Copies of this chain bind each other. A is one copy, B any other.
Amino acid sequence: MRALPAPTDFMEQIMAQVRTGEVTLGERETVEQVEEGTDLAPKFDENGLLPVVTTDADSGEVLMLGYMNDAALKNTITTGEAWYFSRSRQVLWHKGATSGLVQKVVEMRIDDDQDAVWLRVRVEGDASCHVGYRSCFYRSVPAGAAPTGGKIALRFEEHAKVFDPKIVYGDAPNPTKL
């Protein structure tokens, strides 16, 4: 009896399938077809990317906003795990490959004009933010209250990190750019 393939072999098989056209995207022919039809016919932006909202499937919390290129979209569909394109590193990115914080896709949705994706996920390890918080959106902006001066003070809504990024990422460059 043959052993199950190692995870890396498995991913390579998946990648090969994607490369040989296991997922085909539709053409964008009419507004009605894009908005009211059942063809997956996404519109990538001028950099070849779609923005992706990722929420916790159970709590509804927004965990992160990322981007997918063509390969990330196809790999997510094929594997059921979240893949992105890292703009700061300019590479295809299997979320959790470094940190172990893999995102299992519970549901994937696309918007009316098919230029944005919503992923509902369960996260192995309970954190999605490279700073160590559960959500990347760990600070709130006061809105609707008249500001007392011109400056806006953010408020922390998470008060403890889930992991220590120094331990998880070591000396890898921080993706945040000024």
Contact = CB atoms under 8 A, between A and B. Distances in A.
Interface of A: 21-26, 28-31, 34-40, 43, 51, 53, 55, 59-62, 64-65, 76-81, 105, 107-113, 116-118, 129-131, 133, 136-147, 149-157, 174-178
Decide if the interface of chain A is mainly helix, strand, loop or mixed. loop
Given A129-B112, A153-B38, A154-B37, A107 B140 contact: yes
A111 B65 contact: yes
Given A112-B138, A136-B111, A176-B35, A76 B147 contact: no
Contact of A176 (B53, B112, B149, B150): B112
A176 B34 CA distance: 9
